[in-house]
Structure 1
């Protein structure tokens, strides 16, 4: 049965239906799903009925599924090591009551690209809702179309950006969200250098590759580089490039980090449980150790963050 595709905006985002993704999919259907993802950048799947094992299995049609980082003193909530925990609850299902953890998670409410601070970039991310706040309580994910944003730039700006590279750091975004970190501490943490303009090979289009992890621009003063990053992030996240996805239990969004930015919507995470689990696909053709997320976070940890993670 062919996919049913309902666009969420003229150039970006679509709801997909017409196929049961809890069952094994033939090669033709898998190819159609990947093609839809490449075209629309974000796809939304309602009432998937996926459990953790099915979530991981479906993710494999996009490529190599990464292992989530293992944090010292914090046992994972899930039996499947591929599942990243994007929830506000602990292993006992209680809403997290830890101010430093909240400050770390607050960085997710800034526009960002997953893993842009890693030398091994992430492509698709598959975020599955297991529990959402009750009806009437908005807790969306917002997505921005970085391909259309780049295409709409003036030619003079495109020429200015050609060949520029940005340095990305995970805790820079956390510092911007209020986590207690200094520039000097950031200097000692891992960074990844990424092109400001990314070619999205699957679609043949180009897009901006920045977000809140982008700390500065190679070859520019910190002040000039950050001003340019802020200008481009603001351009890419204008309302005309943004869609919002709300969730009920069983709903899933898939986005391609190589052509989108996203952020968590604002909601009271001290009052409402939100159980979200994500798988992450490695950029195609890249070889790296399976524990590279664990290694990066271990190299970035501060004493305060170590203490927060253990609670």
Structure 2
């Protein structure tokens, strides 16, 4: 009986702690979301936002009347789709040979890749490299220098090593090449880790900020995080007015515009995450432990 009571008390404490951690994690975004759809004048009173105070989407209406945000969205989507595809393809092409035990020198190459996780070339050498390659003010400057992440490659390599060797041996007996084995056998059974690595790369590209500041100069190549930075440094109403959008300043506030922009920037990733979540835990656990 005592053990049962203690067990229930401990479980209750753990549930409370988990609820508290969940609230601390989720409330900031909930606050931003509720603020963005609240009546701007009533929202200025401050305090905690659990439900909207009134209802207004005027901030979103003004936001999506400016051409700059569509340019930023387009560039960020390009980085997300093209950049993630390039990253995943080249990471798989490097991870697969290193997962084959009979590949000579694979340990040395893996150690060299691991070395890059500990020591980087630095900001100035990286800038000079991008400049020397003629990639300045190009979205490719945000993709090519980081084509392969050593950490992601190691996770994928370990996952490939967990696949039964009999699959590859059977394909070799049938005369399949290594590329055929990778594309038709390894990749289809490795979707959990591929989806996980794609999520890592995708989030990195969507939130790309520091590299974009270094390498992007023109407004036509601006990404969503940079647009958000410019918004927070000035006001969205100023940007909307400069873009020729009619703004009723009595019905909107700078804070509401900022909250609306934050919601618009993070919403796509929040929508995409549930579709990838089922692969996430399996991919990261197997890729980290096996090997």
**Common fold, TM-score beyond 0.5?**
no
TM-score by length of 2: 0.27
- Higher share of residues assigned helix: 2
- Higher share of residues assigned strand: 1
TM-score by length of 1: 0.26
Higher Cα radius of gyration: 2
